[in-house]
Structures are given as structure tokens and as C-alpha cells.
Copies of this chain bind each other. A is one copy, B any other.
Amino acid sequence: MPTIARELADLAALIADPGRALILSRLMDGRAQTAGELALVAGVTPQTASWHLGRLVQHALLKVERRGPRRLYRLATPLVAQVLEGMMTVAVTGPQATRPPARIDAAMRQARTCYDHLAGELGVALADALREREYLVLDQEVGGLTEAGTAFLGSFGIDLRPSSRHRRVLCRPCLDWSERRPHLAGRAGAALAELAFQRDWIRRRPQGRSVEITDTGLDAFRSLFGVRI
């Protein structure tokens, strides 16, 4: 009989290869990439990357769709992203003494997407600012928008009124591995990130999932949200 520990080990082995970890980390913004691009990300030849991608698809961490002669790979489910994010948190909160987290991925630490919402200093600062104005209640395990918060986000055209159409949770904390504090996830977090992209407050960097804060973005975050960055 297969044991859960065995399943755990198999899954971990899948993530344990540096190339595959790079691929997974790259795909954690939820978008799709071609096999060739992912080979570059992983720093291996296309045939090696193909082997890795095959294993990741076989174990249902990734799903693949054919787009002409190319194949596009993306994370299979949001749950995968959530668990990987959790693993990253454990990875960097671990041996603090030996590995100063400050030296890890400077661009990623400043601002990045975490599947569909914002993370890093920016993500945590936004959550803090919303909390300070009492628009949001958020700790490490649960979160919720206040009525004032719903109205505030509504003023940006974000409709977060309770609805039976949406099965997805409005507001969820997501422990940030770089800041070690929760940022805003769930429908509210996703909508906020979408707004920021639409208004050009942030831009995706060409590679990786870190984002760049534009000058107008810095203004907006400070003046509209009261963010201190």
C-alpha cells in the first residue's frame, strides 16, 4: 500500500531539482511559458528541459496546451502555487543564522506577483496600509474586508460585494516568504493587482515574476493608499 509519506517524498523529489525549481518558480505568476523559454530559465538544453517538463506534467504539477508547434506550460492549479509559496516561506525562515534572507533575489523581494496577486515589500506594504485605514483585517491565518474597505475598493471600480456567483474567497492572507508577514490574496488581492497593472502602476519585468513600480505607481500607492515605501 502506498503511504502518504511516499507520496510526499515523490512530490518533493520532483521539486528538488534546481532546474525544475527554477521552472516552477518562474511559472508561479500563473502565466504560461513555452518549453524553449523554460529551458533558458532552467539553464539547461531544450531536451533536458523537455524531460523535466514531462515529469512535472506527469505528476500534475503543470498542465500543457499546444499552441501551434509550440507547447505552453503553466501551473496546474492555484493550490500548487499556494503550496510552493508556503514551501518558500519555510525555506527562508529556516536557518536564519546561516542564510541572511536579505541577500536573496533583491528584485523579487521588492515587488512580485504571487500567482494572481501582489507580494514582496509592495504587497505587504499595501496590506499594511489598508489595515491602518481599517479597510482590512488580516493576520497570518484569516482575513476580511470591512464595509469601508469594500466601498474604498469599489471606488476604483473593483466590485467585491458578496455574490453567490463567486465561489472564491474574497480575502485571504498569504504568508510572504521575503517579508515574513502576510499580504493580501484571494479575490480582493487579485483584483487589486489587476487594477495596478491596468493603470500602469506596475509593469512585469521581461523575465522572472518580479514587477517594476512605475513613477506614477509610486505616487498612486502613496497618495491613494497611504503606502509607505
Instruction: Tell me the A residues contacting B by CB distance below 8 Å.
Output: 1-18, 20-22, 24-26, 58-61, 76-77, 79-80, 82-84, 86-96, 99, 103-106, 108, 139-144, 169, 171-172, 175, 177-178, 186
Copies in the complex: 2
Say whether B25 contacts A4, CB under 8 Å.
yes
CA distance A17 to B12 in the complex (A): 8
Give every chain B residue within 8 A of A26 (Cβ-Cβ): 5
CA distance A80 to B108 in the complex (A): 23
Most chain B beta carbons < 10 A, residue from A2, A9, A82, A96: A9
Say whether A1 contacts B93, CB under 8 Å.
no
Give every chain B residue within 8 A of A21 (Cβ-Cβ): 5-6, 8-9, 12
In addition to A5-B21, A59-B95, 16 A-B residue pairs with Cβ atoms within 8 Å of each other are: A1-B105, A2-B99, A3-B25, A4-B108, A5-B25, A8-B84, A9-B17, A9-B18, A11-B94, A12-B15, A12-B87, A13-B13, A60-B93, A83-B89, A86-B86, A142-B144
- Which of B7, B89, B92, B143 meets A92, CB within 8 Å? B7
- Which of B5, B94, B141 meets A61, CB within 8 Å? B94
Give every chain B residue within 8 A of A94 (Cβ-Cβ): 11, 59-61, 76
CA distance A188 to B85 in the complex (A): 26
Give every chain B residue within 8 A of A1 (Cβ-Cβ): 103-106
CA distance A221 to B51 in the complex (A): 50
Given A142-B144, A169-B140, A186-B141, A7:B58 Cβ within 8 A:
no
Minimal Cβ-Cβ distance residue in B for A106: B1
Say whether A9 contacts B4, CB under 8 Å.
no
